[in-house]
């Protein structure tokens, strides 16, 4: 949940921004002038700063420079001034984007996502947990009771396919097509062998599977349990 610092002197704009940002799943901090904003940027460590250039106490451009003195936090500028000179100055002082008022909420939210994205790519862990097994799709790691499990390439590819659709029944054909390719949609022998190998490694009692269960005549299913 990224934390966003909004610096704007008009209360209704702050309110409007807060509502929009919270609705998009962000945590919001507010500051009503430049000095407060600089202080908050330092002490609260936000993930993003949205700054209105028209502030009562300080020039907005000065605020950018002040924040950049000791932080690389992304900055999106809001401003009524559309002159090129203002944009260039703000961007060169370290702002990452410059949006001219009035603007659409959807666009601003998209720009927020865009500017937060680089860290979101690898930071968003896709982890599927079931029983004492934990499947980390991004890192390509499986742990059981905290300890790393070693899976072969095919074993992982199969488990990954299950983990991307937990609790869904996957047919033999679907699985074979995804893991072994469309030329092997009838080689159910592969499945029998590899499902068994996975069970040996994942299940408490491989003969009485609780996680990777058979759907007779149809396929298999990875059950989510806690």
169 binds DNA (CB under 7 A): no
Q: Which does 60 bind (CB under 5 to 8 A by kind): DNA, its own copies, none?
A: none
216 binds DNA (CB under 7 A): yes
153 binds DNA (CB under 7 A): yes
The nearer residue to DNA, 37 or 209, going by C-beta atoms, is: 209
The nearer residue to its own copies, 23 or 114, going by C-beta atoms, is: 114
214 binds DNA (CB under 7 A): yes
Q: Which does 15 bind (CB under 5 to 8 A by kind): DNA, its own copies, none?
A: none
Give the binding range for DNA (CB under 7 A) out of 42-50, 55-63, 124-132, 207-215: 207-215
The nearer residue to DNA, 94 or 131, going by C-beta atoms, is: 131
Interface ranges with its own copies (CB under 8 A): 47, 72, 74, 84-85, 87-88, 91-92, 94-97, 104, 106-107, 109-111, 113-115, 117-123, 138-141, 152-153, 156, 165, 167-169, 215-218, 221
The nearer residue to its own copies, 146 or 216, going by C-beta atoms, is: 216
- Candidates 28, 100, 180, 210; binder of DNA (CB under 7 A) is 180
- Candidates 199, 202, 221, 222; binder of DNA (CB under 7 A) is 199
221 binds DNA (CB under 7 A): no
Cα–Cα–Cα angle for 100, 24, 18, nearest 5°?
Answer: 60
- Cβ-contact 218, 171 below 8 angstroms: yes
Rounded to 10 deg, the angle between the 60-68 and 84-93 helix axes is 20
d(Cα 100, Cα 78) in Å, to the nearest integer? 6
Q: Which residues bind DNA (CB under 7 A)?
A: 150, 152-155, 172, 180, 187-190, 192-196, 199-200, 206-207, 209, 214, 216-218
């Amino acid at each position: 949940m990224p934390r966003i610092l909004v610096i704007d002197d008009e209360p209704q704009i702050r309110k409007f921004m807060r509502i929009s940002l919270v609705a998009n799943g962000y945590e919001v901090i507010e500051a009503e002038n430049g000095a407060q904003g600089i202080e908050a940027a330092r002490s609260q460590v936000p993930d993003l700063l949205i700054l209105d250039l028209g502030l009562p106490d300080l020039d907005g451009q000065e605020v950018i420079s002040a924040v950049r003195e000791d932080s690389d936090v992304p900055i999106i500028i809001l401003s009524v001034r559309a002159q090129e000179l203002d944009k260039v100055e703000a961007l060169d002082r370290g702002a990452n984007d410059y949006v001219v008022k009035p603007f659409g909420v959807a666009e601003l939210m998209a720009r927020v996502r865009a500017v937060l994205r680089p860290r979101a790519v690898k930071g968003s862990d896709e982890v599927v947990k079931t029983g004492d097994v934990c499947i980390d799709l991004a890192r390509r790691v499986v742990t059981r009771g905290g300890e790393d499990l070693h899976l072969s390439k095919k074993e992982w590819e199969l488990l990954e396919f299950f983990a991307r659709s937990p609790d869904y029944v996957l047919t033999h054909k679907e699985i074979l097509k995804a893991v072994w390719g469309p030329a092997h949609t009838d080689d159910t022998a592969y499945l029998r062998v590899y499902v068994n190998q996975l069970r040996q490694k994942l299940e408490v009692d491989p003969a009485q599977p609780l996680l990777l269960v058979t759907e007779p005549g149809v396929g298999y299913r990875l059950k989510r349990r806690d």
